[in-house]
A and B are shown apart, each in its own frame.
Chain A
Amino acid sequence: MKVLVAVKRVVDYNVKVRVKADNSGVDLANVKMSMNPFCEIAVEEAVRLKEKGVATEIVVVSIGPTSAQEQLRTALALGADRAILVESAEELNSLAVAKLLNAVVAKEQPQLVILGKQAIDSDNNQTGQMLAALSGFAQGTFASKVEVSGDKVAVTREIDGGLQTVSLSLPAVVTTDLRLNEPRYASLPNIMKAKKKPLEVLTPDALGVSTASTTKTIKVEAPAARSAGIKVKSVAELVEKLKNEAKVI
């Protein structure tokens, strides 16, 4: 079966971001960018499905600026077969991304779509669910285990109280949690080979999708700073402070 994986180019998770002085957003000039960690897990899961003989082809798709080709090449180096970039210079909301992905799904007809559960920049946790709604597919969100058998996929999900397993009819959308797998590193020969793999570039217009949005960001601020407190010398002093100064125990 064909597996479609969506990946996003985001600020590297180790970067401590700064809010711009004019409160228009976060300063991303000259900041290290990487593939969103949850998306890496999605790519790894697809590659493992191919290694098990479940998946026959892995198509990786990204929606974003021209530079997102780097993340697509990374996914190709990890084992994806071909890539699609839907180029959009402006930052899109989850619904617009879901609509574009839905157009790609209609074109590619995958049996399984794997996404990360959330992007670490917008922290929305929406796109997979929205894509499932638009395509009419079942959804297995926050997956920590995925098992395909016949025309069903069993997904073990991380829920608030523990784990839940659901069985979904294919085609389905799965979003990955951190514990689904440990992504591999791309080897140098695979990075070289990835350069020769096909990468198709599309536009929202070509897909006939409107990316209009009902939400706008008015301002972005730094959170209230939390200053360092004091260091205590002993456990006794700590308990004394908590009891008499902070009055929390």
Chain B
Amino acid sequence: MTILVIAEHDNAALAPATLNTVAAAAKIGGDIHVLVAGAGASAVADAAGKVAGVAKVLVADNAAYAHQLPENIAPLVVELAGGYSHILAAATSNGKNILPRVAALLDVDQISEIISVESADTFKRPIYAGNAIATVQSSASIKVITVRATGFDPVAAEGGSAAVEAVSAAHDAGKSSFVGEELAQSDRPELTAAKIVVSGGRGMQNGDNFKHLYTLADKLGAAVGASRAAVDAGFVPNDMQVGQTGKIVAPQLYIAVGISGAIQHLAGMKDSKVIVAINKDEEAPIFQVADYGLVADLFEAIPELEKLV
């Protein structure tokens, strides 16, 4: 068996989610190849070659792949697919965008967001916003799978010495083009990789009040997340949303501030090791999953917490 892992990157750096995906591939067993499709992504290829457990890195360097447009990347993956038993990608917005297109072109079902590998053809994945865990078995000749990063401990980023091989195939479907992007700038750790996450909800009342969470987060070295209510109210940008339809996090410590705890939010954070809830409503559902709950006004509790940590 040989497994192809599609690298997640921005042409400059390999994203940490790739390391979790390689970890899932290692659990399946077999040689692991990593595909780096991008433009001017040689640094990413070098980084991928150093990842522990990777046997080979394939680099498709072409302007058509610069922005991960699925119309161009999917045919490339399909062309390479013949030699592989499994094709894996992280369940990031890129992985979710590209892989179903690959699966359909290969005429196989795709398995989304696996959280564990039971055997080479059997996997577990959450359904119904994480309220049920399905065990699914695939008889497809090529198994196409996205991996939930928080379900697998990342492999080491150093220690491997894989050969890097260029792939000349250029696919430009000419159906789509990149216009521009607006990326949120932040010095804090990435939400999905942070050890501590501080999240705010509707209880924050406005965007300005999030600055209390930012100062607390900076003291803890934490990332800041938000509930859908806070995002929809315009307090913070939507890439901070934690939940079924946002990001899935599983940090060591998750501090939910002014978040009631709807099932859609819980779906994104209930695998955190320790959950702390700060809410003035004693009946809020978040207290049913919190290891430590504090019934208090967040505007008093947060500054005090910041002083004490």
Contact = CB atoms under 8 A, between A and B. Distances in A.
A58 interface: no
Interface stretch (B19-27, B36-44, B49-57, B105-113): B105-113
Interface in B275-294: 275-276, 287-294
B113 A238 contact: no
A150 to B, nearest CB: 14
Contacts of B33: none
Contact of A162 (B239, B289, B295, B304): B239
Contact of A235 (B99, B237, B305): B305
Contact of A229 (B130, B273, B292): B292
Interface string A160-184: 1111111111001000011100000
Interface in A192-249: 213-223, 226, 228-232, 234-236, 238-239, 241-242, 246, 248-249
Interface string B187-209: 00000000010000000000000
Interface stretch (A48-56, A61-69, A81-89, A138-146): A138-146
Contacts of B135: 217-221
A123 B126 contact: yes
B100 A130 contact: yes
Nearest to A37: B245
B264 interface: yes
Contacts of A218: 122, 135-137
B175 A168 contact: yes
A16 B263 CA distance: 8
Given A130-B103, A138-B175, A249-B196, A120 B244 contact: yes
Interface string B133-173: 11111111000000000000000000000000000000001
Interface residues of A, number: 79
B110 A133 contact: no
B253 A223 contact: no
Given A120-B128, A165-B180, A214-B138, A229 B133 contact: no
Interface size class of B (residues with CB under 8 A): 35 or more
Contacts of B100: 94, 125-130, 133
A115 B113 CA distance: 20
Tell me the dominant secondary structure on chain B's binding face.
Answer: mixed
Contacts, number: 251
Contacts of A94: 100, 109-110
A193 B58 CA distance: 58
B127 A121 contact: yes
Interface in A106-164: 117-118, 120-134, 137-142, 144, 154, 157-164
Closest 4 CB pairs of A and B: A229-B291, A129-B100, A133-B104, A130-B104
29 contacts: A94-B109, A98-B104, A123-B127, A124-B112, A130-B110, A142-B97, A158-B93, A160-B94, A165-B180, A165-B181, A167-B176, A167-B177, A214-B108, A214-B140, A217-B136, A217-B137, A220-B127, A223-B270, A226-B289, A228-B287, A230-B291, A231-B287, A231-B293, A232-B293, A235-B294, A235-B296, A239-B309, A248-B273, A249-B253
Interface of B: 10, 67, 69-71, 74, 92-94, 96-105, 107-113, 122, 126-140, 173-184, 196, 220, 228, 231-232, 237-239, 244-245, 247, 252-253, 263-264, 270, 273-276, 287-296, 301, 304-305, 308-309
